[in-house]
A and B are shown apart, each in its own frame.
Chain A
Amino acid sequence: MSTFWSLWIIVLTLVCLGLVCWVLFANRKVAVKDSEEPENQTTGHIYDGIEEFDNPLPRWWFLMFVGTLIFGAIYLALYPGLGGFKGIIGWTQVKQLEAEQEKAAEVEAKTYGVYASMPVEELIHDGRAMKMGVRLFANNCAVCHGADGGGNYGFPNLTDNDWLYGGKAEDIRNSIANGRGGAMPALGAVLGEENVAKVAEYVLSLSGQDHDAALAEAGAPMFQQNCAVCHGADAKGNKMVGAPNLTDNTWLYAGTREAIQQTIRSGRQNQMPAQHNKLREEKIHLLAAYVYSLSFNYDE
């Protein structure tokens, strides 16, 4: 706040308070003094035969006003209300917020602390923990992965047993805490449009879809040269870099000819945001357990 605006607020506030004081004390005086006939102490205003008395404020009422003025003065001294003046005890909204967050953290620590030491494999059988998991998931993950964790176009399905970065509890926890960045480079310029089509045919053949056998055969060496680094020579993917398995029928983006060509041509950029700055350790642990439970087969 610049000095001008600070002064502006200070002057306005104090002048208003001063005016209030003036009005209050000015009205303590009775203008008409007619001690002979006390009932005649009127201001002389008559409306419809109703006279206006010239009485001061009742004492209790006046004292209440004085009380609020004193309260206001104390308040302005303690709390930052006068422009740039910070108040004499450093009482600020930010500090109040921090104090409240501290309190909330304590409550959270108590609520989630019980589960922090339980391994994921146990947690998924704990009804109460899983209920908390549903809520955490709905608040933090459902926007992208869907309320049921079933994923969306470009957002992995968490309910199948297909994992880009591994489906062990520790892997899931890592994904949530630190996030993941999936990067498929754009190969359109490197390969040329004709070769993109050939590689796409080969990829179609990998998952056993309808393809042009001749084009696929021509695409195979190009795949080994350009794609195998990440997806592996057998195209089974690589969980270290999050490269998808191309031989199954699970597609992060659609598995159609057009979509695959598009992926090869322009690449794909995926970002799972890291949650460790946003969520407490205990919450991440509980979320990992819940995500683990989504694809866990309880019947076995």
Chain B
Amino acid sequence: MSEKSSPEDGQTIRYRNLYEKSDKIYTRKITGLYQNIRRYTGLPLIAGFLLLPWFVIDGRPAVLFDLPARQFHVLWLTFWPQDFMLLAWLLIISAFTLFTVTTSLGRVYCGFTCPQTVWTLMFISVEHFFEGDRNKQIKLDQSPWNFNKIWRKSSKHAVWVLIAFITGVTFIGYFVPIRELLLGLLPYRDSVSGMMTIDANPVAAFWTLFFTTATYLNAGWMREQVCKYMCPYARFQSVMYDNNTLSVHYDTKRGESRGARKPKDDYKANGLGDCIDCSWCVQVCPVDIDIRDGLQYECINCGLCVDACNAVMDKMQYPRGLVRFTSEDELKTGVFKFLRPRIIGYALAVTAMMSAFVYTISTRTPLSVDVIRDRGARMYRISGDQVQNVYTVKINNMDNNPHTYSVGVEGDYPFEVKNYRPVQILAGEVFTVPLRISVPRKALDTEKTTLILKVTASDNDKLQAIETTNFIGPAPHK
């Protein structure tokens, strides 16, 4: 970062050259309200992430994205490739939820629940544990290599790698049953050859290592650079902001002019504001910005600077909230408007979409049927005094149990199913059943008519799919 004074008002402007090596950020340890909030929202999320793959429902993991079988098991539901529409809807709903939250509460997602932030903070606390607070870390990095530095650094990296590995295994545990995965990664001595060996599925092992490495690099080394240079959300969140969006602000009116002072001085008489320019808010910042420069796209609204400033204000016996969660309008007028047309609109849209989604999921029949009329040498077949049409009925059993299906037929004429042989269709199997439907020639007095096919599981009436198709016959005798 370099400095230059601006030509207009002579104020110092800080430039960041994109080509310069980024400085290492040493963050100061801080406690406070927002750090507690973060802890108690983060812990259950991490616990959920770690534990979910271990639960078993109906004999398989509670959440399993089985890519080779193209089945996504989520709790009691199983999704098939045909259900990707639902996935698209889920993503749209998530996006709108994010818009709603961002418009009202700012980047709370970034600051409090984003895995990049949560894992980075986990790694930072490990760093704090082994290397001490900001000043100790700076000193340690400047000191020559000695036993103290080596053991502190190596244990920090060891714990980082351990956390990264647990993360990697857990993540892959959503794609490969986790017990199987872990057993595969354990080396054992082969009883025949006497060699140490592992049984891991090479693909699963590769991705476990990949995510271990990625976690280690992202949370250990790249940290805020992911937010600043890689994360697309940082780039477009500004379009969701309005003047009433909550975000971390520095109260310029109250703080300026900033400056150091002696405790006993009447600082107001000296023309100073409440900001004592201790730079704690900068020291705690995980993305290394100065919140006093105003709203910045790097700011992830994590509230660390709020906690730091409040701690300083307490020490100085000034009122809290020099840096606080507030909105631009509130800073100007003192009024915070939470319910705005935009928020209400977003909330309604999300509620409507969620209801439609839940309705679709709960009324979904795990059976889909496609009917294709045979296009052979002839449109229809005449056998004796019967007119016959042949269909290929594609039955896709999306239930988790095998079923045998019966086929019924309805229409304006006395249609009849001939030569249908019931077949057991396994879970997840798509099977095409040839079907011949016939009607007495005398009864049929039209060239083309609608036919309704009902495919029903013989052991469950509710498992039914209805498809309509055409029945073609000869021109009626006039």
- Tell me, in angstroms, the Cα distance from A134 to B393 when the chains sit together: 12
Q: Which residues of A contact B423 (CB under 8 A)?
A: 127, 130-131, 134
Q: Which residues of A contact B378 (CB under 8 A)?
A: 152-153
| Range, interface on chain A | 20 to 34
Quote the shortest CB–CB distance from A137 to chain B (angstroms): 8
Interface pair B2/A149, CB less than 8 Å apart:
no
Interface pair A134/B419, CB less than 8 Å apart:
no
Q: Which residues of B contact A39 (CB under 8 A)?
A: 2, 4, 15, 17
Interface pair B390/A147, CB less than 8 Å apart:
yes
Q: Mark A173-217, 1 if CB is under 8 A from B, else 0.
A: 000000000000000000000000000000000000000000000
In this complex, the member of A58, A147, A150, A151 whose beta carbon has the largest number of chain B beta carbons within 10 angstroms is: A147
Of all chain B residues, which has the CB nearest A135?
Answer: B432
Quote the shortest CB–CB distance from B217 to chain A (angstroms): 14
Of all chain A residues, which has the CB nearest B429?
Answer: A131
Q: Which residues of A contact B147 (CB under 8 A)?
A: none
Of all chain A residues, which has the CB nearest B392?
Answer: A147
A220 proximal to B (CB < 8 A): no
- Tell me, in angstroms, the Cα distance from A131 to B423 when the chains sit together: 8
- Tell me, in angstroms, the Cα distance from A151 to B376 when the chains sit together: 9
* B interface residues, how many (CB within 8 angstroms): 25
With A55-B19, A147-B390, A152-B381 given, is the CB distance from A127 to B376 under 8 Å? no
Interface pair B376/A143, CB less than 8 Å apart:
yes
Residues of chain B from 9 to 60 with CB closer than 8 A to chain A in the complex: 15, 17-19
Q: Which residues of A contact B376 (CB under 8 A)?
A: 142-146, 152, 155
With A58-B19, A148-B434, A150-B436 given, is the CB distance from A142 to B374 under 8 Å? yes
- Tell me, in angstroms, the Cα distance from A121 to B19 when the chains sit together: 78
Interface pair B391/A147, CB less than 8 Å apart:
yes
Interface pair B432/A134, CB less than 8 Å apart:
yes
Quote the shortest CB–CB distance from B405 to chain A (angstroms): 13
Interface pair A146/B381, CB less than 8 Å apart:
yes
- Tell me, in angstroms, the Cα distance from A144 to B391 when the chains sit together: 14
Quote the shortest CB–CB distance from B214 to chain A (angstroms): 17
Q: Which residues of A contact B434 (CB under 8 A)?
A: 134, 137-138, 142, 146-149
Q: Mark B413-439, 1 if CB is under 8 A from A, else 0.
A: 000000100011000000111111000
B377 proximal to A (CB < 8 A): yes
In this complex, the member of B378, B383, B390, B392 whose beta carbon has the largest number of chain A beta carbons within 10 angstroms is: B390
- Tell me, in angstroms, the Cα distance from A134 to B15 when the chains sit together: 72
Summarize B's interface: helix, strand, loop or mixed.
Answer: strand
A159 proximal to B (CB < 8 A): yes
Quote the shortest CB–CB distance from A293 to chain B (angstroms): 9
| Of B19, B388, B433, the contact of A134 (CB 8 Å cutoff) | B433
Interface pair B374/A146, CB less than 8 Å apart:
yes
- Tell me, in angstroms, the Cα distance from A149 to B378 when the chains sit together: 14
Residues of chain B from 374 to 416 with CB closer than 8 A to chain A in the complex: 374, 376-378, 381, 383, 388, 390-392
Residues of chain A from 40 to 60 with CB closer than 8 A to chain B in the complex: 55, 58
- Tell me, in angstroms, the Cα distance from A206 to B231 when the chains sit together: 85
| Of B374, B377, B383, the contact of A147 (CB 8 Å cutoff) | B374
Of all chain A residues, which has the CB nearest B420?
Answer: A148
Q: Which residues of A contact B432 (CB under 8 A)?
A: 134-135, 138, 147
- Tell me, in angstroms, the Cα distance from A279 to B381 when the chains sit together: 29
- Tell me, in angstroms, the Cα distance from A131 to B433 when the chains sit together: 9
A38 proximal to B (CB < 8 A): yes
A154 proximal to B (CB < 8 A): yes
Of all chain B residues, which has the CB nearest A40?
Answer: B4
Q: Which residues of B contact A134 (CB under 8 A)?
A: 423, 431-434
- Tell me, in angstroms, the Cα distance from A153 to B474 when the chains sit together: 15
- Tell me, in angstroms, the Cα distance from A137 to B434 when the chains sit together: 10
Quote the shortest CB–CB distance from A132 to chain B (angstroms): 11
Interface pair B377/A153, CB less than 8 Å apart:
yes
Q: Which residues of B contact A155 (CB under 8 A)?
A: 376-377
- Tell me, in angstroms, the Cα distance from A45 to B378 when the chains sit together: 73
Of all chain B residues, which has the CB nearest A139?
Answer: B432
Quote the shortest CB–CB distance from B416 to chain A (angstroms): 14
A146-B374, A147-B432, A152-B376 known; 8 other A-B pairs, CB under 8 Å?
A: A131-B431, A134-B434, A142-B376, A144-B376, A145-B376, A148-B374, A148-B419, A148-B434
A residues contacting B by CB (< 8 A) are 38-39, 55, 58, 127, 130-131, 134-135, 137-138, 142-155, 159
4 shortest interchain CB distances as A-B pairs: A147-B434, A148-B434, A152-B377, A148-B436
B residues contacting A by CB (< 8 A) are 2, 4, 15, 17-19, 374, 376-378, 381, 383, 388, 390-392, 419, 423-424, 431-436
Mind listing 28 A-B residue pairs with CB under 8 Å? Answer: A38-B2, A55-B18, A55-B19, A58-B19, A127-B424, A130-B423, A131-B431, A134-B431, A134-B432, A134-B433, A138-B392, A138-B432, A142-B374, A142-B392, A146-B376, A146-B381, A147-B391, A147-B392, A147-B434, A148-B390, A148-B434, A148-B436, A150-B381, A150-B383, A150-B388, A150-B390, A152-B377, A154-B377
